[in-house]
Structure 1
Amino acid sequence: MKSFSINRQLITSTMTSNKASEEIAATEGAFVYHGGKHGHPYSSQQCTTNVIKTIFSSCSAIAKSMSCGRIKCAFIAVNVLAPYLTRKVLTEVKEASFYSTMFDASNKENTKFFPVFEQYFSKFGVKKGCIIDLIDNADKSATNIFENLMTAIKKSGLPLEGLTSIGTDNTNVNMDNTHSVYTLFLNQIENLFKG
């Protein structure tokens, strides 16, 4: 039987405690949130992380251990912050009595996106908004847009009876009096306003 000698000093000095790793993760999350809030690109955040590590490495174990490269920043923003903040806003929208849906078509190369944006008043009367879905669909007919919006609203769990208005600048939505997204919604909701 073979026996292995383990250098316990090396293992304990390179491992971080659970509390320390949670503090590092919280710092990185706050750093990415702050950078995103101010529109900083991920490459800028990577550079700032390197500066922080250089300046504060002697006095802060968290700063010394922080690693927020471009790819990690994008991962934190897309897979941690965005789902959490979207859930939080959707909970507030569900608690509000009424909300408004806005959307627009946007072309990116050969793809057509429809960002779906909800706006509402919170308990405190503050007007807020959030993108709840990003629909990728090239069909811009009124029926298809209506079906995609209904799917987005149902998927997010918002009550249809709370929808008070829809707004966009797309002609298939507002202009036609007989067959538009607005008239299709009006068949579902009586007192809907056109935005």
Structure 2
Amino acid sequence: SQATCVVCNQQFSIHYRGKADIDNHMKTQKHEKNMKSYNVNQQLITDTIKPSKEKDEICSAEAVLVVHGVKHGHSYVAQQCLTNVSKTIFSSSTVANHLSCGRTKSTSIALNVLAPYFTRCLLDDLKQSLYYSLHFDASNKGNTKEYPFCVQFLSSSGVKKGIVDLIDDADESANGIFANVRQLIMDNDQDFNGLTALGADNTNVNVDENHSVYSLFKEESPDILKGIKVLVN
């Protein structure tokens, strides 16, 4: 058995003597030296980072503005304009005056905060459903080939659909797409047997009876259905 000392960032064995091994480690010169700086750092963090209701309200307001912009397809340039207008209209509001949600920050909030959160919510709902369909399409963005993957399923609140991942891959072969789809299902801990239908463009690489993404899935799941309409278009 191994124990980890957070202060020393080190693992040591407690297999033979248990608590005695821990006591011996705590008496070492290295641990005692690290404890001095560890206590100082902990105190600095506690003194410097303090909860602030006002900061929480500002962060919440910025997140709401970004959600609103993404929902209605507004550009991040327009997001900057909206922030400036809000400051002017609500000049007496402390929260509005401290908004700093321009193009760069809005992009970061959307990609690094909101997207992972809503994707996780979608996948959590998907795990409560027994069956789902998967839709994908290939699109060019500059010199990059992108594949958005979208799921559709029946939840307790009705039919839900959403993009779960966007994969960059120049391989447009049936084997390459099949490998990406399979890996996507595994990475998100979804039940492969719950996949009931594939939706994709009506091309040979996607739906050909002899060798295609559909035929490869058909070999593993004989009851899978062939869909044509693509939700990600």
How would you bin the TM-score normalised by the shorter chain? 0.7 to 0.9
Q: Residue deviations 1:17-59, cap 9 Å, x none?
A: 611101110110011001110011111110111111111122x
**Percentage identity across paired residues of the two chains:** 48
Partner of 2:91: 57
TM-score where L is the length of structure 1 = 0.87
Q: Residue deviations 1:110-166, cap 9 Å, x none?
A: 211111111111112x22111111111111111111001101111111111110000
Mapping of residues 45-194 of structure 1, within 5 Å: 45-58=79-92, 60-124=93-157, 126-169=158-201, 170-174=203-207, 176-194=208-226
Moved segments of 4+, more than 6 Å: none
Where do 5+ consecutive residues of structure 1 fail to align? 1-15
Q: Distance in 2 between matches of 1:184 and 1:190?
A: 10
1:25 lines up with 2:77 in the alignment: no
Higher RCO (CA-CA < 8 Å; seq separation 6+): 1
Structure 1 position 97, deviation (Å): 1.2
Q: CA RMSD in A?
A: 1.5
Q: Distance in 2 between matches of 1:17 and 1:164?
A: 48
Where do 5+ consecutive residues of structure 2 fail to align? 1-49, 228-233
SS in 2 for 1:44: helix
Q: Distance in 2 between matches of 1:80 and 1:148?
A: 25
Q: Distance in 2 between matches of 1:17 and 1:120?
A: 40
Q: Distance in 1 between matches of 2:191 and 2:213?
A: 18
Task: Give the number of the structure whose alpha-carbon radius of gyration is greater.
Answer: 2
SS in 1 for 2:134: strand
SS in 2 for 1:133: strand
